[in-house]
Amino acid sequence: MSKAIAVFGAGPGLGQAVAHHYAKEGHDVALVARRREPLDALAAELAGYGTTIAVVTADLADTDGVPALAARVREAVGEPEVLYYAPSSADAGFVAAAELTAEKLRELAPLTLYTPVALVGEFLPGLRQILVAQGFSALNGLPGMSGPAVLLAGQRNWLQSLRAELAGRDVRVSALYVGAAIAGSAVHTAIEEARAAGAPVPDWPVATPAELLELLLGAHENGGEAIHAPGF
């Protein structure tokens, strides 16, 4: 019986590294993100592993569309035993805490909190691994970085409860919290473009997808969390 992983947020950076790792390990892979062209390019890279590689375009901010999305994933690769969730964009939507509004939280909540909860609800009976990667702001409130961080902290709380509840069912819930720009990611590209244009940019450390993948897999082996936060 074939094994499958659904990669929700298969953009450049860690998502691609996760897809390569599991395809190499013999998993069929469903690549899920908004834009088809980069997914097709990644699928072509993964084809050499000899497993089924499926491209599924979707807006993960559309929580109401999760049941239909889950059906498309099942049709493409079967019931996934691994779920990876870490969508990202160059515009993360951070705001100062004093400027945060209820409307802003409502705007950000689907992608950050509602959709991962809905996806786990859809796939949980068959899941054995739940992998999540998010920013370090989920752990510590930082100046000027409110908004998504509030919801990520809520997501972390949910994952901690889920981890404890599923421990007796042989389901591992693992999370990585990253305090760096990921080389090759949309955020890293935006920072470098702004720096080249002479704009003031945060002096963030840069982490490679390979080192973050190692941390995430280590968190999986330990059944818990890993933190990459140099300089914080």
Domain of 178, CATH number, reads 3.40.50.720
- For residue 21, being part of any structural domain is answered with yes
Task: List pLDDT tens digits, range 34-79.
Answer: 999 999 999 999 999 999 999 999 999 999 999 999 999 999 999 9
Task: List pLDDT tens digits, range 133-152.
Answer: 988 888 888 787 788 889 99
**Region 175-202 average pLDDT:** 69
Between residues 64 and 95, the one the model is more confident about: 64
| Mean pLDDT over the full length of the chain | 88
Any residues with CB less than 8 A from the CB of 123 and at least 6 apart, and which? 6, 70, 79, 80, 83
For residue 20, which of 153, 212, 186 has the smallest C-alpha distance?
Answer: 212
- For residue 157, being part of any structural domain is answered with yes
- For residue 58, being part of any structural domain is answered with yes
- For residue 86, being part of any structural domain is answered with yes
Could you list the residue range(s) of the whole structural domain that residue 217 is in? 3-227
Token pair for 85: 């969730």
- For residue 128, being part of any structural domain is answered with yes
Q: How far apart are CA 134 and CA 167, in angstroms?
A: 22
Indicate if the pLDDT at residue 132 is higher than 70: yes
Question: Which pLDDT belongs to residue 202?
Answer: 63
**Distances, alpha carbon 46 to alpha carbons 33, 96, 214, in Å:** 16, 40, 19
Q: How many domains does the chain have?
A: 1
- For residue 76, being part of any structural domain is answered with yes
**Region 70-93 average pLDDT:** 89
Question: Which pLDDT belongs to residue 16?
Answer: 93
Question: Which pLDDT belongs to residue 7?
Answer: 98
Question: Which pLDDT belongs to residue 186?
Answer: 66
- For residue 232, being part of any structural domain is answered with no
Question: Which pLDDT belongs to residue 179?
Answer: 79
For residue 15, which of 176, 225, 226 has the smallest C-alpha distance?
Answer: 176
- For residue 48, being part of any structural domain is answered with yes
Question: Which pLDDT belongs to residue 147?
Answer: 83
